[in-house]
Structure 1
Amino acid sequence: METVRVGLVADPAKPTDVARRNQDLVSENGRPDWDIEVVSEPFTAASEEPEAALGRLDELAHEHSWDVVVGLTELPLHDDDERYLLVDADPRRRTAVLSLPAFGGLDMHRRSRSALRTLISEMTDRPAGTDHRVSLSRRWGRLRVLLGMVLANRPWLLVPGLKSAMVAALTTGAIATINSTVWLLAGSLSTWRLVIAMVVSIALVVGWLTIDGELWDRPEDDSQQARSRSRLYNASTLLTLTVGGVICYAALYLMNLAWALFVLDPAVMGGYLQMSFDYPDLFVLSWFVASAATVGGALGSGLESDEAIRAAAYSKREEERRTRLARRGRRRGH
């Protein structure tokens, strides 16, 4: 049997990595042979609708003389009933789109490998037929896609992506740790007040980044579909920033604690304040200082450009989508 030429067209960054890891994919019985070529291209740039994506993939199949083509994207796909899709395929044209967020972000490589093998096999063995869609359940589909979008945004990279904010946070923490007024404040606060300070500081970071970076998504029209889509993107943004903010807070707490243990002597502090002070109090001090440092980091993020904030907060594909929408909004404003 002759070799089947397969094209994997992937959005830049994570989808391209997933596609390249599957370049050695073979059918279950090894026949027919699959000659897989990977092309990294944002094929959903013009439109997020599945039909538009399938049309672009069909064009690429003709350009590259592929027998089968599958697109991998980090954007969520949905049908006309607003059910989220894992797969949208057109067996007649031997084209399909695979939405990676629909996997929920967990065990991505194994699950995508299994899905690609099934897709390619079905379109190779049964090329004729009607359009084929694999949709998620209404109850859990949105949550699964949301989790996949948040993990695709890699919230743990938010802190190193905002260098000015991190410098401001570390500077605030270092100065606050050796300030006697801060010692008094930390010692006078009850546990629930410290918890409130922590929650408020993280919420301030999330709100400031959302506003300053213009990250809030607005529906393109008044349709229910557009509003639903915007709610999903905004939920993804808030969760990404919240997780990133919590990671930032934890990192600041540990660094401030290490700094406090290194430079402060509880006996000297107690004598200066004329009150009892011991090493366990340094943990409370570092907790309060972490809240102050987080607020300092939020203010420091104002030195970052909108593009830098979007690059730190989003996956590559989502960053491109947001940047495109922001430019479109500025043009409309003019």
Structure 2
Amino acid sequence: MSTAPAGDGPEAGATARPDVVVGLVAAPGVPAEVADELGPDLAAALRGEHPEVAWDVRVVEDGLVAPPADDAEIVAAARERLLAEEWDLAVCVTDLPLTVARRTVVGHASPVHGVAVLSLPALGAVGRRRRALQTSLGLVRALLGDDGGDPGVLRRRLRELAADQGDAGGGFTARVLTGNLRLLVGMVRANRPWRLTASLSRALAAAVAAGVFALVTSDIWRLADRFGPVRLVAVGLGSVVAICATLVVGARLWERAGSPRVRKQVALFNLATVATVVLGVLTLYAALFTLALTGALLLVPSGLFAEGLGHRAGLGDYLELAWLTSSLATVGGALDAGLEEDEAVREAAYTHRPGAGG
């Protein structure tokens, strides 16, 4: 099994074009045989589509995971290999079947990780080499954020991906954010952050339980009445930060760059991760606020509420109660978010979208 580059050849070093390194990782056996044929074809096709950068496709044989394994495990293992080898992108060739909503698919692409998975069983036996090439090209396009929009944006993305980054710090992260905002938005949208909390059963159950307890406690009524907008905002922000930090730190979603070569994509990964988690938690907060307000209006009689507050209860008082209740419920979710298994959190945080088939 060759590990030499299948890219632009010796003459590429004489040009000033930066190179994009693609790791083509194949499981032993038939996938490795297919990858040996696919490597040169993929490099040539990528050069034809995007000649502004030099393409270096490196074919390696690595089982990555022991079967049975799903696409999330393959992507996680490939991400580790990508960072260790300092690749820009990785495409895994596997003989394991992949499914989405119980449908067999030919490939998955996770732009957040920079990793795609190609499943050989879904290609069929006829024209497999051609279909493997077409599917691999579609997966690479998905990883690059190529949605058929402005080609200038894609060219800039390629040049940035190929360029080594030698600095760090807040200024570097800011440049990554401003220079890749469109790509970042696409990565976060592909993750479907609104589905994050629904996938974390323990955190969701704890949040609902804490909200119910707060809603029927008269002391909470009086606190909500006396807190005022500033304290309510502070408690709300604190609850959101608490559960976000618990998910990111507890499940080890934050990556560290081991070398300048991968620093940019690690920064993009971390920005997309934080944005996904924050949007998911804000979705939870909004849902809890709606449930708390509905529950307060239905379950807390105005007379009893006014007696507990010591004055007439109006809609503003119910809104304040729902606000504090949703904040406390979010804190309850944060406490149980730490009990979620790391794999469950990662699976919830990252949605691998199907790649284009051939």
Is the pair's TM-score, using the shorter chain for normalization, greater than 0.5? Answer: yes
Alignment of 1:252-271 (within 5 A): 252-271=288-307
Aligned runs of 1:162-173 on 2, under 5 Å? Answer: 162-173=200-211
Question: 1:244 corresponds to which residue?
Answer: 280
Cα deviation code 1:4-36 (max 9, x no counterpart): xxxxx9xxxxxxxxxxxxxxxxxxxxxxxxxxx
Tell me the amino acid that sits aligned with residue 212 of structure 1.
G
Equivalent residue of 1:189, what SS?
A: helix
1:209 and 2:247 aligned: yes
TM-score, length basis structure 1: 0.59
Matches of 2:179 and 2:322 in 1, distance apart?
A: 41
Please provide the CA RMSD for this pair: 3.6
Distance in 1, Cα, partners of 2:274 & 2:192: 13
- Once the two structures are overlaid, the 10-residue window that deviates more, 258-267 or 40-49, is 40-49
Aligned twin of 1:182:
220
**Counterpart AA for 1:240:** T
Instruction: From the superposition, tell whether residues 171 and 289 of structure 1 become closer, same or farther in structure 2 (CA, over 3 Å).
Output: same
Paired residue for 1:218?
Answer: 256
1:229 correspondence with 2:265: yes
**8 A contact 1:201–1:294 mirrored in 2:** yes
Larger displacement relative to structure 2 (41-50 or 173-182): 41-50
Quote the Cα distance in structure 2 between the aligned partners of 1:51 and 1:299. 36
CA contact (8 A) 1:75 1:99 kept: no
Q: Is the 8 A contact 2:112 2:272 kept in 1?
A: no
Count of residue pairs brought into register by the alignment: 228
Distance 1:146 1:299, change over 3 A: same
Please list the CA deviations of residues 35-62 of structure 1 after superposition, one character each: whole Å capped at 9, or x if unmatched: xxxxx98699354736864xx77x99xx
Pairwise CA distance, 1:301: 1.2
**SS of 2:188's equivalent?**
helix
More displaced 10-residue stretch of structure 1: 305-314 or 139-148: 139-148
**Residues 1:277 and 2:277 are matched in the alignment:** no
Aligned letter for 1:287?
A: W
The CA deviation at 1:77 is: 9.1
**Residue 109 of structure 2 contacts residue 352 of structure 2 at CA under 8 Å; is this kept in 1?**
no
Contact 1:155 1:244 in 2 (8 A): yes
Task: Name the CA shift for 1:50/1:75 in 2 (closer, same or farther; >3 Å).
Answer: same
Aligned partner of residue 217 in structure 1, secondary structure: coil
Q: How many Å separate the matches in 2 of 1:229 and 1:194? A: 37
1:144 aligned onto 2:182: yes
Give me the whole-angstrom Cα distance separating, in 1, the residues matched to 2:317 and 2:210: 19
- SS of the residue aligned with 1:73? strand
Partner of 1:302: 338
Picking from 147, 151, 159, the partner of 2:197 is 159
Give the drift of 1:148.
1.6
Amino acid at match of 1:159: T
Query: Aligned partners of 1:76 and 1:272: how far apart in 2?
Result: 50
Distance 1:98 1:274, change over 3 A: same
Amino acid corresponding to residue 232 of structure 2 in structure 1 = L
- In the alignment, the residues of structure 1 paired with residue 206 and residue 89 of structure 2 have an alpha-carbon distance, to the nearest angstrom, of 46
Report the Cα offset of residue 191 of structure 1: 1.0
- Alignment-derived partner of residue 100 in structure 1: 142
Match for 1:150: what amino acid? V
Which ranges of structure 2 fall in alignment gaps of 5 or more residues? Answer: 1-23, 25-69, 96-105, 115-132, 161-174, 354-358
Cα displacement (A) at 1:292: 0.5
Q: Distance in 2 between matches of 1:273 and 1:77?
A: 51
Q: Does 1:312 align with 2:348?
A: yes
State the secondary structure of the residue aligned to 2:140: strand
Task: Tell me how far 1:154 sits from its aligned partner.
Answer: 1.0
- Worse overlay, 179-188 or 193-202: 193-202
